[in-house]
Amino acid sequence: MEQLQDLVLGLQHIGIPTHRYEQTLSFYQSLGFTVIYSTMNGNDHVAFLKLKSIVMEVYEHESVAGHSGAIDHVALDVSDIEAVHALVKSLGYQVLEKGIQTLPFFANGVRYFTIEGPNAEKVEFSQYL
């Protein structure tokens, strides 16, 4: 059986919720990030911005901390979402969603699920399709 570290490819993105979508995009673009993908998720804007190997997901959300610690999640890029899901469950971690989720982001979509760490941080496992 593969180990989790064998299936994780690296950091996929950092998720930042915002009430000020356009201002947030402008801020990160001023730092050199470029928008590599943007879409709507229901009524909310979503954009992925990239600077070298760093990718950030900026998205509108009604619940924003608005202070230090406001990053919502860290997503790990994985090679096999099904195998990672089984491994994480075998470790006894509670998946926050009902199973593996799919979003129509990027060319072919993404599949993901999220767990909560000991400090209430969210760790997302995500696979590009």
pLDDT (0 to 100) of residue 91: 87
Q: How far apart are the first and last CA of the chain?
A: 23
Per-residue pLDDT, 34: 96
Where do we find the tokens 């990027």? 106
Pick the CATH number of 4-128 from 3.10.180.10, 3.30.470.10, 3.40.50.620, 3.40.640.10: 3.10.180.10
pTM above 0.85, yes or no: no
Q: What is the average pLDDT score of the chain?
A: 89
Query: What is residue 119's predicted lDDT score, i.e. its pLDDT?
Result: 66
Boundaries of every domain in the chain = 4-128
Q: Return the closest-CA partner of residue 14 out of 79, 70, 78.
A: 70
32 backbone dihedrals φ, ψ, rounded to 5°: 110, -5
CA–CA dist 72, 44 (Å, integer): 16
Can you give the pLDDT at residue 73?
87
